[in-house]
Amino acid sequence: MRVVYKDLPLARHELAHGAHEAARCAGAAGRYWGYHDRLFAAQPAFDRPDLIRYAADLGIDASAFTRCLESRQFAAEVDGDIAQARQLGIRGTPTFLINGRRLVGAHPVATFRDVINDALGRRRDAEKEE
């Protein structure tokens, strides 16, 4: 099973795009998930000084992180994720796609378990037919 996490900064949150880029910069420093979690806890405080402080708090080199932000190193990747979401008809977060099945919004763990087990069962059935 492969898990892919995509960016979808919502347009109504004017600082969200920069926060998504900042998370990618943190990822380049090996700290994506810690930074991601910090953003969720701190939202909506996404002004540039805040983003740089969060990185420093996580032990990310502030100079390298700031250069990454200023160069907008990951803007194209974030924009690509936005375009892909639009193409797939995804308009909000969270949205999960599991073998083509769409789950929108928060769901209990049991729902994910059922959908994943169903997808794995269909995969096993297809392998038997080969």
Cα separation values, 111 from 6, 27, 98, 103, 118, Å: 21, 29, 11, 9, 11
Residue in the structure block whose two tokens are 């960016």: 7
pLDDT at res. 122: 73
Average pLDDT over residues 31-52: 95
Eight-state DSSP code of residue 44: T
Q: What is the mean pLDDT of the chain?
A: 91
Q: How far apart are CA 61 and CA 68, in angstroms?
A: 11
Please report, for the chain, the start and end positions of each structural domain, with discontinuous segments joined by +.
Answer: 16-87, 95-129
CB 35 within 8 Å of CB 27: yes
Residue in the structure block whose two tokens are 């996404």: 46
Q: pLDDT tens for residues 52-111?
A: 999 999 999 999 999 999 999 999 999 999 999 999 999 988 999 988 899 999 999 999
